[in-house]
């Protein structure tokens, strides 16, 4: 289990996250929602070891994630950061192969198992056809799929995704989130995914955490978190929450006033 306890984050003297405690179980997709600047990416940076917390603890199955050497953490946590870049001169295959780096021996060469994981990651993200293209020549959505493929090739029990569907068309939004949800279930991954689309979050995450101004405003099932009052308070918009006619999950409908 990924466990975040009383986490406090700051940039210099400016606090961004205050007293945050949250858990993600293996097999679970936790959707992280909240307005721009709420602290979602900062939390993901802290979980991936890029931003050192001012206070608090982050552990996985009892092991302190932040105290361990980076190479060990890279075998436990894979991340697709928000607005990151692939090395433009690399081919797609080379980019996805970078995901295997934490697992390679001292010779640094890819073995049959590494190649199988790279092929699998490209296949499930529908990026195999891009294999020989240069990363710098890809569209935004194609790059996003390759970034996810790289993270999946890393094959870690914790997967952190910061707005992974931001540049994707409808088909690929659904396809990618389906892949993420199935992987969480089948491989017992603990997945934390920041999403702006509340209806996608409602469909694909078992639990949601709503961050507002660096604080956890609500946490629970989509039905518990996606309430008219909470969304009014968080986003200053009027909504109606209806049952999705297909799934019964909460369906957020904007009101024009």
Ligand X SMILES: Nc1ncnc2c1ncn2[C@@H]1O[C@H](COP(=O)(O)OP(=O)(O)OP(=O)(O)O)[C@@H](O)[C@H]1O
User: CA dist 193 to 13, 45, 97, 182, 197, Å?
Assistant: 27, 12, 23, 14, 11
Site for Mg ion in 79-118 (CB under 5 A): 82
Tell me the closest approach of the beta carbon of residue 160 to Mg ion, in angstroms: 12
| Smaller CB separation from Mg ion, 41 or 165 | 41
| Smaller CB separation from ligand X, 42 or 125 | 42
Q: Is position 41 an interface residue for Mg ion (rule: CB under 5 A)?
A: yes
| Smaller CB separation from ligand X, 7 or 96 | 7
Tell me the closest approach of the beta carbon of residue 132 to ligand X, in angstroms: 33
Where do contacts with ligand X occur on this chain (CB under 6 A)?
Answer: 11, 16, 34, 36-42, 82
- The Cα 257–Cα 194 span in angstroms is 27
| Smaller CB separation from ligand X, 37 or 88 | 37
For strand 158-162 and strand 239-243, is the pairing parallel, antiparallel, or unpaired? unpaired
| Smaller CB separation from ligand X, 40 or 100 | 40
Tell me the closest approach of the beta carbon of residue 196 to Mg ion, in angstroms: 9
Q: Are 161 and 192 in contact (CB under 8 A)?
A: yes
Tell me the closest approach of the beta carbon of residue 203 to ligand X, in angstroms: 19
Q: Is position 173 an interface residue for Mg ion (rule: CB under 5 A)?
A: no
- The Cα 189–Cα 148 span in angstroms is 15
- Among ligand X, Mg ion, none, what binds residue 11 when CB lies within 5 to 8 Å by partner kind? ligand X
| Smaller CB separation from ligand X, 41 or 239 | 41
Q: Is position 165 an interface residue for Mg ion (rule: CB under 5 A)?
A: no
Tell me the closest approach of the beta carbon of residue 83 to ligand X, in angstroms: 9
Tell me the closest approach of the beta carbon of residue 196 to ligand X, in angstroms: 6
| Site residues for Mg ion per CB under 5 A | 40-41, 82
């Amino acid at each position: 289990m990924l466990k975040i306890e009383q986490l406090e984050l700051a940039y210099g003297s400016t606090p961004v996250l205050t007293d945050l405690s949250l858990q993600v179980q293996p097999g679970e997709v936790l959707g992280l929602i909240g307005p721009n600047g709420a602290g979602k990416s900062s939390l993901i940076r802290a979980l991936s070891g890029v931003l050192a917390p001012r206070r608090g603890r982050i552990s996985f199955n009892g092991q302190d994630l932040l105290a361990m050497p980076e190479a060990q953490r890279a075998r436990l946590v894979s991340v697709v950061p928000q607005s990151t870049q692939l090395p433009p001169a690399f081919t797609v295959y080379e980019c996805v192969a970078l995901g295997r780096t934490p697992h390679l021996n001292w010779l640094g060469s890819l073995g049959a198992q590494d190649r199988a994981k790279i092929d699998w990651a490209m296949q499930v993200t529908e990026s195999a056809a891009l294999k020989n293209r240069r990363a710098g020549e890809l569209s935004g959505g194609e790059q996003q799929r390759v970034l996810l493929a790289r993270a999946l090739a890393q094959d870690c029990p914790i997967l952190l995704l910061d707005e992974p569907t931001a540049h994707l068309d409808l088909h690929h939004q659904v396809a990618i989130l389906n892949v993420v949800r199935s992987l969480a279930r089948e491989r017992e991954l603990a997945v934390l995914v920041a999403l702006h689309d509340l209806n996608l979050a409602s469909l694909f995450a078992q639990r949601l955490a709503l961050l507002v101004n660096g604080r956890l405003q609500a946490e629970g099932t989509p039905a518990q978190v996606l309430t008219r009052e909470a969304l009014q308070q968080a986003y200053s918009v009027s909504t109606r929450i209806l049952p999705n006619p297909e799934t019964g999950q909460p369906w957020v409908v904007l009101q024009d006033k």
